Structure 1
């Protein structure tokens, strides 16, 4: 690291979780910052989404590395926060680190361009009147949920019902007495289909290809804690090449536990939750040849299964939509159903109109903004090789299994250190070479189809450890094994939380990090199984040199 500490002025666009953490990390490095947020509150999408919604990752995995929140019990009794509660967590984060004074609310960024005569970035804003700000660096933190992605259907102009994006749904009661078709199979679709089944007359779930790998929010009900407690380092170090075998083992293990729980605690009687859980396992197994635990995105929300099982008389799964008629949908299997509304849970698209539509930005910058829409074509999902660290896109990487906030925190820490010149980037040629290698890896693991369609998709642990190695904050697990075995056990078998990356490196908080890691709840049985599996794989790699058995994340990508 270079000890010369450079201080710069950074403009941050957006004040959701990515904008807040970017601000905090840049301030920690001593930089001057101004944040522009066009809404009247911090928190981004979580203040605007359907307020009956819940996160699909527990507070343990979603929280930032050095802020638990105002509820200390969250470590020992983790749960899924509602969108409202997570908005409050972000507000508390801003209060705790005194961030609000740097945020300009109700301020829309209208145009961004480079003033080459000054070698500075200009930002035109409108908060009732237009002003121009000057910066050395920019952080684009508008996130992956800013712009709705709406499909176009054949004969859509004929349809007399409503077609809308799920982001336009505010209350589930909007579905009362309606026949509704939900398009998609992700986590929002899972919430929407259950609401449509519960409140509507009829509900149809249109899935064009495979659904995501289904993981319930709670593995065996609230009593046993969130399902993502087994998102551990040993689990996510299982070699990716063995995804099908691992899926079989994982699903069989879950089935056995479900039946044993039923036998021991419930007198042999299965409750509704057990039935839904098992149905989800069978749905995963049914498509295992094309979608296993490692090569697809996770639908970390079993409401999709509950809707199909619990409301089987009024809720039906359908293939993709072939065409629309005045009051009905014709699906690809040629079945026809009458509906009042089509709710598209078809995700979001990246868009940067303040650059793409700016009359002040040059064509080269507009080209870069267009290319930046494909997140994996940026260096580490953050930097365009033509701009180096002048503009950083933070919050555009989406883990297949895991939560977005921990990844964007690592991105923000990396960018802050780049701005201080404590870290250096490779040259443009080497960055392009590494991007190409990275995309090829993603296509191998997640398939070309998914990487092309979901351009921000990445592997949670492999990407996080890659950033941590770059920052210099990945723990030395070998040393910890010999010096602090209890901590090592929790690091390997406990939940994969960002406090791991505060044990060492820049802005380390080892005492606080150890307290968080050691206090955090963990589940023993599955992680003991994963640990045994990992040791078996590593044996065949170390002794026989079988490359496909090399544990993921044990080595740089």
Structure 2
């Protein structure tokens, strides 16, 4: 073995999807690991969320790059898994890679600190006085532990209930109630439709723009999940041309919708058609401030269905101005009586095992406080003051795309850092790159969104950046000449994490090719994106127009 390669003992906090994939990648690099999980099962958030919840990313995009799961047909017949099904997928993943023996269940971490005399990290549990010692720490506790609740003016006067999304278990809880849903993300979209279906009246309070609305399925589930057009060619469209791209994309969708209605449905629109068109018009209405590249995606058109299908009792409202005893005054000065307010306002990063630790020093507490702003970490993972000694995994949220594939790339990178096969830049270089990265995010996603959702990133650009660092980004030029069939699926098929298993450390090229070639893809939109991309690339290569340079074709 190379004398520079090292093996370390890593403590992992949490056994949700980020903790599991981190454990698996560290074990494959030969490291010793212990996982601390405060519950009695793996799965994290998905074992606790509302039980009727369904993913907004298809299993193709959500799955890890080297594990399909036990349903082989899901590559050719992809769908959105329920939260319960995804929990089972994580259990199957843990069984397949023999991970459970390394997990200590019902062990909540009480305190984490660094012992500088030994240059080791120490963990103390709530129910155990034994102190565990580690060389490295992976924080994989997720972003869903600490709810983010708004404070409304005159909130103390309100006699109804104010809840967070996390407190909702069943949609039937809304039965016979007048409910106001606050937020316009994917969970809010589920909640407003449930409130419209089961409640007396439902109000959707959106302070500013809603997210870019994408339905879960294209023209119904027969055609497959909508995110099948989350392809490399699509996400390589230059970000500076977001408004034009949005117009072309939405007009293309409208034309297809009307042609489908005219040719196959004898001129009759289905409920799905009406909802899809309404969502397109909602996107177009705010295109100047929120196009496909400048905002997060609401990959769930349930909010549109609620407003269209239940227009007699479901209404969109502006932000909440103040509360009264039994009612809400909105920013437009309208007043509505409600029984409950459900805040789908996200979560805040929280690390109580350091923040409230008696053993942790002030420097560590300062660093963990800074780490709450995820984009201020190097690649959303590493604080420059501690380098690869401690790594935050699972704290990057793509504007469009799925979170678990990003976790897998982060875990692979961290495992190689632990082995000393990869090295970090100097502290000053990391700080410069962080500053450059945040400025780029603010340019693309606007300072308002980046400062409000500090974990927000761009799916393809971030994935390719990490894969370049790891050394697992495929050589697309070589594949074009040697395996054209694979190349077209890589470019126009869905953005699977199997792309990053074709080469590099822990590559599984035979399995990766099989997954990529079997995976379903939608041809029409991706062929359109392909020709659009060629046009942009032409103006960049021939005339040097920088704004036409395709995204992710070059390091950030």
TM-score under structure 1 normalisation?
0.99
Say whether 1:257 aligns with 2:256. Answer: yes
Counterpart of 2:199 in structure 1 is 200
Shift of the alpha carbon at 1:165?
0.4
Aligned to 1:364: 363
Gaps of 5+ in 1: none
Q: Conserved in 1, the CA contact under 8 Å of 2:143 and 2:350?
A: no
Alpha-carbon separation, structure 2, partners of 1:360 and 1:111: 7
- 2:467 corresponds to: 468
User: For each residue in 1:447-505, what CA deviation from the matched residue of structure 2 results, as whole angstroms up to 9, or x when unmatched?
Assistant: 00000000000000000000000000000000000000000000000000000000000
> Aligned ranges for residues 232-311 of structure 1 at < 5 Å?
232-311=231-310
Equivalent residue, structure 2, for 1:335: 334
- 8 A Cα contact 1:11 1:139, kept in partner: yes
Match of 1:114?
Answer: 114
C-alpha distance after superposition, 1:31-62 (max 9, x if no partner): 00000011111000000000100000000000
Matches within 5 A, 1:466-505: 466-505=465-504
Which residue in 1 is equivalent to 2:100? 100
Q: Secondary structure at the match of 1:234?
A: helix
Give SS of 1:411's match. helix
Q: Give the corresponding residue for 2:72.
A: 72
State whether structure 2 residue 312 is matched by structure 1 residue 313.
yes
Distance in 1 between residues matched to 2:2 and 2:79, nearest whole Å: 41
Say if 1:186 and 1:274 are closer, same or farther in 2 by CA, change over 3 A: same
Contact kept in structure 2, 1:2 and 1:422, CA below 8 Å: no
SS in 1 for 2:342: strand
Cα separation, 2, equivalents of 1:161 and 1:2: 65
Q: How many Å apart are 1:69 and its aligned residue?
A: 0.1
Task: Give distance in 2, aligned partners of 1:523 and 1:550.
Answer: 25
Does the residue aligned with 2:388 lie in a helix, a strand or coil?
A: coil
What's the CA shift for 1:129? 3.0
Q: d(CA) in 2 for partners of 1:467 and 1:493?
A: 21
Q: Quick check: 1:423 aligned with 2:402? A: no
CA contact under 8 A between 1:2 and 1:421: conserved in structure 2?
no
1:70-99 deviation line (CA, Å, top 9, x unaligned): 000000000000000000000000000000
Alignment of 1:115-264 (within 5 A): 115-126=115-126, 128-264=127-263
Structure-2 residue corresponding to 1:54: 54
Tell me the alpha carbon deviations over residues 124-165 of structure 1, each in whole angstroms, 9 at most, x when there is no partner. Answer: 112x33321000000000112222110000000110010010
Does the C-alpha gap of structure 1 residues 397 and 2 become closer, same or farther in structure 2, counting only changes over 3 Å?
A: farther
Q: How far apart are the structure 1 equivalents of 2:140 and 2:157?
A: 38
Quote the Cα distance in structure 2 between the aligned partners of 1:144 and 1:56: 18
Instruction: Measure the CA separation in 1 of the matches of 2:311 and 2:2.
Output: 63
1:446 Cα offset (Å): 0.2
Give the equivalent residue in structure 1 for 2:445. 446
CA contact (8 A) 1:3 1:422 kept: no
Q: Secondary structure at the match of 2:333?
A: coil
Query: Offset of 1:262 from its aligned partner?
Result: 1.1
Whether contact under 8 Å (1:11, 1:138) holds in the other structure is: yes
Q: Which runs of 4+ in 1 moved over 4 A?
A: none
* Contact 1:2 1:423 (8 Å CA) reproduced: no
Mapped partners of 2:231, 2:374: distance in 1: 26
Instruction: Look up the SS of the partner of 1:70 in the other structure.
Output: coil
Structure-1 residue corresponding to 2:86: 86
Following the alignment from structure 1 to structure 2, what is the Cα–Cα distance between the partners of residues 291 and 302? 16
Instruction: Identify the residue that residue 385 of structure 1 maps to in structure 2.
Output: 384
Give the structure-2-normalised TM-score. Answer: 0.99
Equivalent-residue separation in structure 1 for 2:2 and 2:204 (angstroms): 55
| Uncovered stretches (5+) of structure 2, i.e. residues with no partner | none
3-state SS in 1 of match to 2:80: coil
Q: CA shift at 1:3, angstroms? A: 7.2
* Number of the residue aligned with 1:521: 520
1:5 CA drift (Å): 2.2
- Superposition deviation, residue 344 in structure 1: 0.1
**Aligned residues of 1:76 and 1:521 also touching (Cα < 8 A):** yes
Secondary structure of residue in 2 paired with 1:98: coil
* DSSP 3-state at the match of 1:389: helix
The alpha carbon displacement at 1:2 in A equals: 7.4
Cα distance in 2 for residues equivalent to 1:441 and 1:473 = 24
CA contact (8 A) 2:143 2:395 kept: yes
